[in-house]
Each structure stands twice: as structure tokens, then as C-alpha cells.
Amino acid sequence: MKIEKIGVIGAGVMGAGIAQAFATSGYPVLLRDISQSALDRVFATVKASLSRLVAKEKMTQSDADAALARIVPTLKLEDFRDRDLIVEAVVEKFEVKKAIVADLDGICAEKAIFASNTSSLSLTKIAAASKQPGRVIGMHFFNPVPMMRLVEVIRAIQTSDAVNAAIVETVARLGKEARVARDSYGFVVNRVLIPMVNEAINCVYENVATPEDVDAMMKLGAAHPMGPLALADMIGLDIVLDVMEVLYAGFSDPKYRPSPLLKQMCDAGFLGRKTGRGFFSY
């Protein structure tokens, strides 16, 4: 399975990073969103990211210009008919992802691979939305995509061996490392990481320690490069809550119960860096 033309659906933070990663590796990328303003913002974001790499002498200005030129915006899903690999990076809602897969089925060639950047939802359920579920797989990138080496490749029950091999090879061509996991709620990274973050939030909720001290203790005592609460603010507390709720509902295990404080902060709109306030101020 030869992958040459890429499609990315969703022009948010993750979509922008995924598009940049493919474009800097020489792939032509078609980037789709439902609003022109989102597409305009993502080009400014990618241009700024590439400029930082140029300033750090990690790439030349000509290479940065060429990468940006490889990203073509569109508002039409129909434009993806010639893509070999389409990666969706839309909101973490099953019904939205299911609808995209079903729509792509009626547009794309039979050889096209559909990948989801979901961080916790069942790939097996997402794959079932396709008439060819064997071509559906998970590609879980991590933020910031241009810098993070891991891509968690998630095999649905239906994913074919050929599709899995093609995606592992493609990840290597991006200069990243693929690690394959079977489909399970939260996969590996978020199943381990997000409950740890949730427990750090509980330490604040129960007045065990301040946010500053919780993060300092984990950095000093566990050699974490970033404290769990600062990490939660970077991820977005709404995303942390979404993952916890998927784990809680999927496993029916009380150890995955979201912290009451996490719910309260999301209700208040204190979502972290993107709103200027979370456990810390920005």
C-alpha cells in the first residue's frame, strides 16, 4: 500500500501539527475544516511554527516555505477523493468521527486508509462505521506534534495487517516512532497518564497540597519534566475530563471516576492555557 497523498480533517491544534509533520516530510497535504477562519488561523500557526524551527537552525527558510506550500486548504470533503491516507483530528466525539468515516466511504477510493487521531475512543466502533472496516486505524499523535516522536498506532479488531504495516512505515518516514497497541479505552499512554493527572487534581481537591507543590513534588521526586497540573492545563481540562469519562464508562471501574474539581473547573470554563486560566494563570 503506497501512501503519497495525505488528507487531514480538522484545523485545530492537532490538525495543524499533523499537517505540518506530513508537509515537512515531503507529502502533499489537503487540509479541511468547516470554516474559512479556522483554515486561515491554521496557516498562521504553521507558518509561525516553521519560523521557530528556522530560527533554531533546524531547517532552512527555503525548506520551510516549501513545506507550507505543500498544505492546501479546502472546505469540501469531496476534495479527498484522490487521497491515499486521511487523518481525522476533529472534536473527540464518537458521533462526529463516525459520520466522517461514513461520508469518506462514499467519496474515497477503496485503497484509501482512514486514520483517527482519537486519544481514547474505541477504534473498533469507529471502524464499524465504514463499509470496509479493515482500512480504519488509529494514529494518535501527541502535542506538540512537530516535536513529539511517538505516534501510538491503534489496531481496531477489524484493521488489516496491510493497513497496519503501511501506517507503521509512514510514521517512520515522518521521522517518528510508531508503537502499536490493540484497541482498548485510552490505549496505553492516556490510560496511564490521564488517571495520574486526575489523581493530582484530587490532591488539590482534598487540600493535600497546593497546585504549585503537587507539580514541584512530581518534578523533583519523580523526575517528571512537567508537573501533572501544568500538563493538564496544556492538554486542556475539558480534554482530560473527556478521556476520564471515556475510561470510566468503558471499563465501569470506579478508579477512573473524574475528580469533582475537574468537573467544576470545566463547568467554570477554566480549561487551562487556551482560556488563560486553569490550575495556573496564563
Neighbours of 5 (CB within 10 A): 17
Q: CA 132, CA 152: separation in Å to the nearest integer?
A: 22
**Residue 15 annotated as lining a ligand binding site:** yes
Residue positions annotated with a catalytic role:
119, 140, 152, 190
- State the chain's mean pLDDT as an integer: 96
Work out the end-to-end distance of the chain between its first and last CA atoms, rounded to an integer number of angstroms. 45
Question: What local confidence, expressed as pLDDT, does residue 67 receive?
Answer: 97
Task: Identify the H or E element spanning 195.
Answer: helix 189-205
**Residue 10 annotated as lining a ligand binding site:** yes
Which pLDDT tens digit goes with each residue over 187-196? Answer: 999 999 999 9
In 3-state terms, what secondary structure has residue 125?
helix
Topology adopted by domain 6-182: Rossmann fold (3.40.50)
Neighbours of 2 (CB within 10 A): 9
Record the pTM: 0.91
What are the residue boundaries of the structural domains of the chain, listed by start? 6-182, 191-274
Range 32-38, long-range pairs (CB < 8 A, 24+ positions): 32/7, 32/8, 32/73, 32/74, 32/75, 32/76, 32/77, 32/79, 32/80, 33/9, 33/73, 33/75, 34/75, 35/75, 36/75, 38/11, 38/12
Whether 105 and 26 have beta carbons less than 8 Å apart is answered as: no
Return the percentage of the chain with pLDDT > 70, whole number. 100
Query: Does pLDDT of 46 surpass 90?
Result: yes
**Residue 76 annotated as lining a ligand binding site:** no
**Residue 117 annotated as lining a ligand binding site:** no
Choose the CATH number for 191-274 among 1.10.287.1080, 1.10.10.1100, 3.40.50.300, 1.10.1040.10.
1.10.1040.10
**Residue 92 annotated as lining a ligand binding site:** yes
Query: Does pLDDT of 152 surpass 90?
Result: yes
Same fold, 6-182 and 191-274: no
Name the DSSP class of 135.
G
Find the mean pLDDT for residues 62-84: 96
Buried-state track 199-211, b at ≥16 Cβ within 10 A, e below 16: ebbbbbeeeeeeb
**Residue 276 annotated as lining a ligand binding site:** no
Confidence of residue 1 (pLDDT cuts 50, 70, 90): confident
Question: What local confidence, expressed as pLDDT, does residue 66 receive?
Answer: 97
Which pLDDT tens digit goes with each residue over 220-262? Answer: 999 999 999 999 999 999 999 999 999 999 999 999 999 999 9
